Every structure is written in structure tokens, then in C-alpha cells.
């Protein structure tokens, strides 16, 4: 029971990560694959942020009345990671649009069919 209480955040992370992973490998639609990648990404964010939390800690903005702060380092890393994440997502979506133009579909199986038939 104590193990359950003290590690639940990691389990949530693992579960989310696996859902994202499942979408990426099992779904044929390219847009949905990108959504899956996003979920995977968010699970990593949550892992970092929850590692930075300290019980009884407060947000890392200095204030005289507060003594315990949560760890600011993961916050910095994740903050930049999110913005880079949106940039890569945009790039992926742009690729999807180009693929749609070239093949007329965004289903993986159909794209492969066309590649083989050529």
C-alpha cells in the first residue's frame, strides 16, 4: 500500500506513455499518430515535473515567507521542451499535408499500397 501511494505518479506516466506508444504503432492515420506522439511527449513532461515536486514545497518564485521550494530545474527543461514540441508538431503536420497532396490519402496502408504498385 505504501508502495502504491509513493509510486503512483510513475505508473500514470507509464500508462500514458504506453497509450501514446500504442497509438503510434497501431493506428494507421498519420494525424492520429501525431496525436499519439503528443501524448507520449506529455507523459515525459509529467515524469520530469513530478520528479521535481517536493512535499510541502511551493512554486519556485522567491518569497520571504516560504522556505521549501520545488525543484526549478525540471521546470526549465520542460518549459523549453514544450515549445520545441509544438514546433516539431507543426513540422509533422506540414509533412502530413504534403503527403496528402502527393498521395491523396493519409492512411499508412494506402500509402504503402501506392508505393508498391508503382
Q: Is 59 in the site for other proteins (CB under 8 A)?
A: yes
Q: How far apart are CA 82 and CA 88, in angstroms?
A: 10
What number of other Cβ atoms are within 10 A of residue 114's Cβ? Answer: 12
- Of 14 and 118, which CB lies nearer to other proteins in the complex structure? 14
Q: Is 103 in the site for other proteins (CB under 8 A)?
A: no
Residues that bind other proteins (rule: CB under 8 A) add up to a total of 80
CB of 118 to other proteins, least distance (A): 21
The owner of cell 500500500 is 1
Return phi, psi of residue 89, to 5°. Answer: -60, -45
Return phi, psi of residue 107, to 5°. Answer: -90, 130
- Of 65 and 117, which CB lies nearer to other proteins in the complex structure? 65
Contacts to other proteins from residues 31-50, by CB under 8 A: 31-32, 34-35, 38-39, 42, 45-46, 49-50
- Of 56 and 117, which CB lies nearer to other proteins in the complex structure? 56
Contacts to other proteins from residues 66-85, by CB under 8 A: 68-76, 78-80, 82-85
Query: Per-residue contact track with other proteins, 13 to 32, x per CB under 8 A?
Result: -xxxxxxxxxx-xxxxx-xx
Q: How far apart are CA 14 and CA 11, in angstroms?
A: 5
Q: How far apart are CA 94 and CA 86, in angstroms?
A: 12
Amino acid at each position: 500500500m505504501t508502495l502504491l501511494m509513493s509510486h503512483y505518479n510513475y505508473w500514470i506516466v507509464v500508462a500514458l506513455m504506453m497509450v501514446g506508444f500504442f497509438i503510434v504503432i497501431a493506428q494507421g492515420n498519420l494525424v492520429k499518430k501525431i496525436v499519439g506522439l503528443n501524448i507520449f511527449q506529455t507523459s515525459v513532461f509529467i515524469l520530469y515535473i513530478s520528479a521535481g515536486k517536493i512535499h510541502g514545497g511551493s512554486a519556485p518564485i522567491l518569497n520571504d515567507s516560504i522556505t521549501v521550494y520545488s525543484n526549478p530545474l525540471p521546470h526549465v527543461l520542460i518549459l523549453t521542451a514544450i515549445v520545441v514540441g509544438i514546433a516539431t508538431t507543426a513540422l509533422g503536420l506540414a509533412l502530413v499535408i504534403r503527403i496528402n497532396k502527393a498521395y491523396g490519402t493519409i492512411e499508412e496502408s494506402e500509402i504503402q499500397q501506392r508505393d508498391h504498385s508503382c
